[in-house]
Structure 1
Amino acid sequence: AISAVARVVEMGIEPYLVSGALIGVEAQRLVRKLCPHCKQKITLTPMQLDRIIHLIPDDFAFYAPVGCGKCSQTGYLGREMISEVLPISDKISSLIAKNATKEELTNAALAEGFKDFFTDGIRRAAMGITSIEEVYRVAKS
């Protein structure tokens, strides 16, 4: 969502026009859903867990794809959306109008509680919907 705002300004549209026109920006991506028939519960390594512990709910379980006849041996069946929503607050609008950098916009958004693709994906992985590898593949560039 923040990248989309930055790209619009980079296209040559005056920042004050962008800031006045936006009320929010949503971005979404699809991750593969784990097959409910064959997914297998896993334990993350301490190193893996340390990097994401602040993002996961208290009651969590991670799963890995296995593969069975119902999912054509892929371990995945269907898709799930992960998203990020950036409401354009007065502070964010002001930063856009001042042609702030992507880093400045990101810092302001995070201070206001913005949750990015990765955060949403990790939450879904912790609920057993998708795998941690799938979240890293789709949401961590």
Structure 2
Amino acid sequence: MDGKLTRATEVERVSELLGLPEEINDRDSLIAQVTTGLPTKSVEKILEVMNSQPVLNLIPERAFRRAKAGKIPLSPDRSKVLYDFARAYVAADKTHSGNGALVMRFLEKPNPDLGGAAPMALAISSPAGADAVIELLSR
């Protein structure tokens, strides 16, 4: 993949960013997958699409290595963090017309409209944080 998201709808693009199959193309199936735990390839797929190593870790390296070595899904809590980040990333990708460098600059640069927090830090902190980033992008 060249780092571009290609699926049509927002939910499909979140699913694509998480490296999930095309069959997971609606909110219910996506939430079900997140609730049961995302595969470790979701982290790898996000990093591939981002095309750069982010300043912040999306999930602790130890948790990722343990899940990958055990060939088990990430925990539901870790999966929810990835899901929230993916929602914010997809919104930023849309706003910046797929320009990965601009998306990453937006996500990592402290933003005064978010109380000085970096959007990425806020997006991985909670669903409400991801919603605040998405709301800012939709203005």
| TM-score, normalised via structure 2 length | 0.27
Q: Name the structure with the higher strand share.
A: 1
Query: Which fold has the larger relative contact order, with Cα–Cα distance below 8 Å and residues 6 or more apart in sequence?
Result: 1
User: Larger radius of gyration, structure 1 or 2?
Assistant: 1
| TM-score, normalised via structure 1 length | 0.27
